[in-house]
Amino acid sequence: MMHGGLSIFSREPNRKNSFYIGNMNWWTTDLHVIATVKDHGLGDVVCLKFFENRANGQSKGYCLVEVASESLAQNAPDKLGNIEIHDRKLMIAHALRISPHQFESKCNQAKEQGTTPVFSSNSLSSSPGQLLGSTGSSGLAKTSTVKTTLPGVIPPLPNPIFPQPPRPPTIPGFPTPPFAGLRPPGLPDFASMGLPGIFPPPFPPIPNASSINPFTSRPGGLPTLPPMPPAALAALGSAGAAVGSDVTKLTAPHLNPAFLQDMSQSGANMAEMLAHAAARFRSQTAAFSSMSVSGGRASPGDRGKSLPNHPSDEEVSETNQRNKAISSSAITRAMSDAQAGDYESAIDTLRMAITLIKQSVTANSEASQIMIQSLQDCLQGMEQQQQSSNASKFVHSIAE
Amino acid sequence: MDIVNLYPLSNYTFGTKDPMYEKDRTVESRFNRMREDFEKYGMRHSVEGVLLVHEHNLPHLLLLQLGEPSSPLYLWLTEAPCYAGPSPSGTTFFKLPSGELQMGETETEGMLRIVNNTLGREDGMKTDWKVRDVVSNWWRPNFEAPQYPYIPAHCTRPKEHKRLFLLQLPEKALFSVPRNYKLVAAPLFELYDNSAGYGPVIASLPQVLSRFNFVYI
């Protein structure tokens, strides 16, 4: 069956009549999207474009859909706003109001803030029955989307041999660790310590004096984390994708050194940054595991420090130097990207640098704060530039 | 029972013939033609030929080396941000004998036509190559450079499907190489783990060819 034919894919969607659909699974296909759009009174899809990781072709979970008219596109948030495809509540935004990059951050935010409930069917503990049999409030819409309108398509069941791509369960208010895909060698230790498979965060929460193992209670019992804007983490995720690493690829269980190698061709400092961050992350989790085993050395008084290990003077100066290198190379890179018109990469670069510096052991120092501030200023400027250039892009396409 | 006879590089002689230019002169025209063809005919089917010889009991892959770094194919591929191929800074670029299948043509017919056009001799005698197994498949989900050895889950309409065929060479042959290319024989170890130098398609050939039982004659 031809849905408007192959012309749907042969050009870029016209933003005026388009809207973004996001927060989808990586395996939600173009046919699913087309059917859903049609079923909810928005007519035929004229043009469709998915956003993917360039490194491996995996869908980022959002796409740009063009429909027949601007008014239909403007109705899309109402018609599709509460719909779920494959148990994921869709995020809809009109294409003129939001840029792809902003949308991607929003989608990542939604995932972190638990629009999917903790340990839902998307988590590690999924069972095949849940996907199809769930009768949630949107069950009707979902089943009609998935079952009746695509009679030939069986909704993907979690394959018992290869279950849902392993991903850390999303916990409300708990930002997804940026290296969600990383499994440092220490992970099996966590499992054996009775942790429910929760992936250690970059800032391991300081255990309360009362509970040695911070994960014995349900996620609600976690102490507050040091402030880290989810957007920064999300941006790190998208920045990681932008530089072609599989850091945010939730299916990848390890950081493939080949990607670091590739990155070294396009910007040595990126690879360096990520490698340093990865190494730091491993040492943090190692420190965390040893801390838990020894019964929790850290006391509540340590709350001021965001990390359980006390950095030595050498570490401090080393980290400061590294941060300086990160921020200056990030700014240089971002500038040249911006000159070339590639605002998305520039913004990603800056965001990632900010996140890395914030994560470092000297994040609270004045020097780091200054660096973060200047990066953020740069970022703001970049975003403004991008908005004005997007506007001019739009004008051009109308003129054609 | 996948036995493949390989002959020494010295069994083969190389001549030249007129240059063979690509259909698309610019990167943009390549994209545009692909889009137009897609609307009319659907997914493009391409075939590429894997031709092997041996030296010192190690298989060597015959590659065409592009003489001019400013050729559209070279530029098109290097434009992709994630391009894991040779860097554009002056080094050259390698490809397999390849082409698009025409309407109604089978893969075998197309492969033979393409390899004869690319390397076949011009003196009326026919080279006796045989098309053997498919060694790999690559798909292009968008009208962009990235291709993957699988169809990404969200994509139901890949834009191009590329198949690589192992070709059995005759014991002796004359290859006529178009003047704008050089023909080189790359040992498998040179390709192994070298996406940076040859791109993911060629660099993965040592792995996919490992299943064959090569006989070094």
Q: Note the pLDDT tens digit of each residue in B160-200.
A: 999 999 999 999 999 999 999 999 999 999 999 999 989 99
User: Checking DSSP bridges between strand B12-17 and strand B3-6, what pairing results, if any?
Assistant: unpaired
Q: Which of B154, B160, B198 to mutate to test the interface with A (most CBs of A within 10 A)?
A: B154
Smallest Cβ–Cβ distance between B82 and the set A5, A9, A244 belongs to: A244
Cα distance between residue B20 and residue B95, in whole Å: 13
Cα distance between residue A352 and residue A336, in whole Å: 16
Region A83-88: mean pLDDT is 87
Instruction: Write out pLDDT tens, residues A238-284.
Output: 443 344 343 344 444 454 454 444 444 444 454 455 455 445 555 55
Quick check: A6 and B143 CB within 8 A? Answer: no
Report whether pLDDT(A362) > 90.
no
Query: What is the pLDDT confidence band of residue A370, given thresholds at 50, 70 and 90?
Result: confident
Cα distance between residue A63 and residue A50, in whole Å: 4
Q: Which chain A residue lies closest to B147 (C-alpha atoms)?
A: A57
Contact B87, B65 (CB under 8 A): no
Order of all β-strands in the sheet with A91-94? A47-52, A59-66, A18-22, A91-94
Contact A91, A21 (CB under 8 A): yes
Handedness of CA A292, A298, A299, A304 (dihedral sign): negative
Lowest-pLDDT choice from A161-170, A324-333, A351-360, A365-374: A161-170
The pLDDT of residue B128 = 92
Quick check: A54 and B81 CB within 8 A? Answer: yes
Q: What is the model's pTM?
A: 0.54
* The two structure tokens encoding residue B153: 């889950």
Nearest to B12 by CA among B132, B95, B119, B166: B119
Smallest Cβ–Cβ distance between A29 and the set B143, B150, B154 belongs to: B154
Quick check: A57 and B150 CB within 8 A? Answer: yes
* The two structure tokens encoding residue A153: 């398509």
The pLDDT of residue B74 = 52
Q: Who contacts A210 (Cβ-Cβ below 8 Å, separation ≥6)?
A: none
In the numeric block, the tokens 């190692």 are attached to A286
**What is the secondary structure of chain B as a DSSP string?**
--EEEE-BGGGEEEEEE-----S-SSHHHHHHHHHHHHHHH-SEEEEEEEEEEEETTEEEEEEEEES-TT-HHHHHHHHSTT--S--TTT--EEE-SEEEPPTT--HHHHHHHHHHHHH--SSSPPP--EEEEEEEEEEESSSSS--BSS--TT-S--SEEEEEEEEEPPSSEEEEEETTEEEEEEEHHHHTT-HHHHHHHHHTHHHHHTTSEEEE-
The pLDDT of residue A364 = 74
The pLDDT of residue B77 = 54
Residue numbers in A near B195 (CB within 8 A):
258, 262
Smallest Cβ–Cβ distance between A31 and the set B38, B142, B156 belongs to: B156
Can you tell me the ipTM of this complex? 0.78
Report whether pLDDT(B139) > 60.
yes
User: Checking DSSP bridges between strand B58-66 and strand B130-140, what pairing results, if any?
Assistant: unpaired
What's chain B's average pLDDT? 88
Cα distance between residue A191 and residue A195, in whole Å: 5
Quick check: A9 and B154 CB within 8 A? Answer: no
Radius of gyration of chain A (CA): 22
Smallest Cβ–Cβ distance between A59 and the set B81, B84, B154 belongs to: B154
Q: Which chain B residue lies closest to A244 (C-alpha atoms)?
A: B82
**Is A29's Cβ below 8 Å from some Cβ in B?**
yes
| Between A170 and A102, the higher pLDDT residue | A102
